[in-house]
Amino acid sequence: MTQEIWSEVDEYIFDALIPSDPTLEAALAASTEAGMPAIAVAPNQGKLLHLLARMIGARSILEIGTLGGYSTIWLARALPPEGRLVTLEYYPKFAAVARKSIDGAGVGDLVDIRIGEALDLLPGVEGPIDLTFIDADRVNNPAYFQEALRLARPGGVIVIDNVVRAGRVADASSTADEIVGLRRMHELIAAEPRVDATALQTVGMKGYDGLTVVLVTS
């Protein structure tokens, strides 16, 4: 199997199940024009987040890592009119690009973008949160998970992106900060009696990585 095949299958999925969306495509284009890294979730991953939020009837969503607002739009579209989404972004430039795209998507009234270090901002986020999407630096994922759990309601969901890193997460001898952070996060999840969880390896246009999905049970 090759990257070419993974990307071809993704394109098939997009054509079959995810209609072209000019608003979302404009958000990606705006990120590219601003020189931002091309690390937004793929369309099928964005649709997965959207469906998960709808499945649990999410009314409050927390996102750690806004980037250009692409995943934010997918999530905000799952909210009811009275819903709320708080998204945390470290870089003011990224937040400004995201704000314009989110407003252009017609969901600006639902989205509160907060700028700064996520660990500094998280104590100011009000719970309960129905769904948290963590898509930021892996080094701090253990702390992000703990904060997401603190804010979550029973029955809430926590989704963490980029947890496999081309298989490197399986290397117990790795001293890379992001791998140490990911392995520590999974240790915390496994030891936490208030959650149940699994992780999935993924391949596609974004390469080889994975997601961890956590159900808050109590």
Q: CA 184 to CA 166: how far, in whole Å?
A: 18
**Res 74: pLDDT:** 98
First-to-last C-alpha distance (Å) of the chain: 41
pLDDT in tens, 186-204: 999 999 999 999 999 999 9
**Res 190: pLDDT:** 98
Q: Name residue 212's beta-bridge partners.
A: 160, 199
Give percent above pLDDT 70 in the chain.
Answer: 100
Contact 61, 85 (CB under 8 A): yes
Q: CA 113 to CA 67: how far, in whole Å?
A: 11
Count CA within 13 A, CB hemisphere, residue 156: 22
Contact 188, 145 (CB under 8 A): yes
pLDDT in tens, 166-178: 999 999 999 999 9
**Res 79: pLDDT:** 98
**Res 11: pLDDT:** 97
Burial status of residue 126 (CB atoms within 10 A of its CB: 0-12, 13-18, 19 or more): exposed
Average pLDDT of 132-160?
98
Q: CA 108 to CA 159: how far, in whole Å?
A: 23
**Res 1: pLDDT:** 77
CA 90 to mean position of chain CA atoms: 15
Average pLDDT of 111-138?
98
Give percent above pLDDT 90 in the chain.
Answer: 100
Is the pLDDT at 80 greater than 90, yes or no? yes
Amino acid at 103: D
Helices marked H in the chain: 3-17, 22-33, 43-55, 70-76, 92-104, 118-121, 141-151, 177-191
Neighbouring C-beta atoms of residue 215, cutoff 10 Å: 16
Place of tokens 């993924």: 202
How many residues would you count in the chain? 218
Q: Report the CATH fold assignment for 3-216.
A: Rossmann fold (3.40.50)
Average pLDDT in the chain: 98
pLDDT in tens, 25-76: 999 999 999 999 999 999 999 999 999 999 999 999 999 999 999 999 999 9
